[in-house]
Structure 1
Amino acid sequence: MRSNSLPVLPHEHKSARKFQRMNASVLHPPNGWSFSDKVIGDVVQRVRASPDIATPSVATAWEHTRVPQFQSAGWTTPHQVKITHVGRQAAEAVNGRTDSKPQVLPVKVHKTSMSEPLANNKSEALFETRTKSNVSVADLIAMGQESLREARRQNQRRYRKKQHDNMVGLEKETSQLQAEINQLEDQRRALAATVPEGACIWSVAIEYFLLFQHGLREQQSAQHPSPPSDVAQGKETCSAQVNFLRSRLAPDVILNDGRGVDAAIYCWRRISFWFEDFQLELEHLHKGGPNVLLATTITSFTITERTLRNVFPGIWNERESAVGAPLVDKLLRQRIVMRGTTRFEWDSSRRRVSSVIAQSDLMTPMLRLLGSLKDVEQVFGNAIISPDFRWRMPS
Structure 2
Amino acid sequence: MHSLVLLPPNALTLSDKLVCDVKQRTRPSRVNSTTTFIDARGSEANTGVSAAATALPSVPELIARNDSPPPGSRPVCLSSDQKTANKVIASIKAANHPIGIELQNAVVAEALRKKIRHRERCRVNQARYRKRKHKSQADVQNGIARLWDEIKDLQSRCNDLSGVSASRTPWGVAGDYFRHFNYFLAHARSQYASKFFHDIMAPYVVDGSPSGGDTQIETWRCFALYFGDVHVELPGMKMPSEDTLVASTITMVTVTRNTLRYAFPHLNSDGDAGTQGGDWSPIAGRILGQRLVVHGSVLFGWDNTSNKVVRFQAQADLLTPMLKLLGNLEDVSFIFSKALITPDCKFV
TM-score using structure 1 length: 0.45
Larger radius of gyration between Structure 1 and Structure 2: 1
